[in-house]
Amino acid sequence: MTLTYDLYWSFRSPYSYMITPRLMALETEFDVKGVIRPVYPLAVRTPEFFETRDPLWFSYFLTDIHREAAFLGVPFAWPRPDPVYMDMATRTYPKEQPHIHRLTQMGVAAAERGKGLAYLTEVSRTIWSGEVENWHEGDHLARAAERAGLDATELAAAVDAEADRLDAVVEANQVAQRQAGHYGVPMIAFNNEPFFGQDRFDQFRWRLEQQGLTRRAG
C-alpha cells in the first residue's frame, strides 16, 4: 500500500530546498507519495514575525544554513534576487512582491499536474544552489520546469489564466498547515503527526517504516 504524506513548503526557505533531494530519493526507492502543498513564506504571511526576533535568531540562522548545506553536501548560496523582496530603506516587506506569489502559484500548478515534488526540487536548486545567476531572468525557470517533466509554456499559461484560483489554493494550504500542527516550513504531516524542519526527515522516515514502508518493485 502506498503511504502518503502532506508536504508544506516555501520557495523562500533554504531548509525547504535542502529537504527536497531526500524526499525525491525516498519516493524513488520506496512506495510513498507526497501531496505537495506550497505555502507563502512567513515574510509574506506574517512579516511581523521577524520584527520580534532576538538578534541571536538571525546570527544562528545564518550559521546554521551554511553548515547544514555543507553537512548534506548540497550546493548553497543566498539567492540573488531574494525570492521575497525587502525594502531596505524601511526594512519591511511590501505587500506587492515581484517573485514569490507567481513562484508559489507555479508550484501549486505543478502539483496539480502530478509533478509537484520534482518541480520544487528543480526550481529550488535553480534558486538556492548558487549555480545560477539571476534565476528569475531568461529561461532558467522554464528549463527547471522541463527537467521536472512539465511543459513550461503550458504551465506558465495556466498560471496566467488561473492566478486567483491558485492563490486561493495556497491560502487553503496555509490553513491546513496550521491545523496539521505547525506554521513553519518545511513541514511534513503524516498520520496526523507534524514533522517540522528538514532535520526531522529521519524521524519521518522512521514513522514510515513503522507503518510498513516498502521498496518499489524493481
pLDDT at 135 over 80: yes
| Contact between 190 and 208 (Cβ < 8 Å) | yes
Predicted local confidence at residue 91, as pLDDT:
65
Q: Which CATH number fits domain 3-210: 3.50.50.60, 3.30.450.70, 3.40.30.10, 1.10.1740.10?
A: 3.40.30.10
Confidence of residue 92 (pLDDT cuts 50, 70, 90): low
Burial group, residue 60, by CB count within 10 angstroms (0-12, 13-18, 19+): exposed
Determine the Cα angle at 203 with ends 201 and 206, to 5°. 110
Nearest in space to 21 (alpha carbons), one of 83, 74, 62, 88: 74
Determine the Cα angle at 25 with ends 21 and 31, to 5°. 135
CB crowding 101-130: b at 16 or more within 10 Å, else e: bbbbbbbbbbbebebbbbbbbbbbbbbbbe
pLDDT tens digits, 151-195: 999 999 999 999 999 999 999 999 999 999 999 999 999 999 999
Q: What DSSP designation does 185 have? A: S
Mean pLDDT of the chain: 94
pLDDT tens digits, 103-113: 999 999 999 99
- The CA distance from 213 to 31, in Å, is 7
Indicate the helix (H) or strand (E) that contains 9.
strand 3-9
Confidence of residue 97 (pLDDT cuts 50, 70, 90): confident
Nearest in space to 2 (alpha carbons), one of 218, 192, 195, 212: 212
Tell which wins on pLDDT, 200 or 45: 200
Predicted local confidence at residue 54, as pLDDT:
84
**Considering the chain, what percentage of its residues have pLDDT values greater than 90?**
84
Predicted local confidence at residue 55, as pLDDT:
84
pTM of the model: 0.94
Reply yes or no: is the peptide bond before residue 47 cis, omega within 30 of 0.
Answer: no
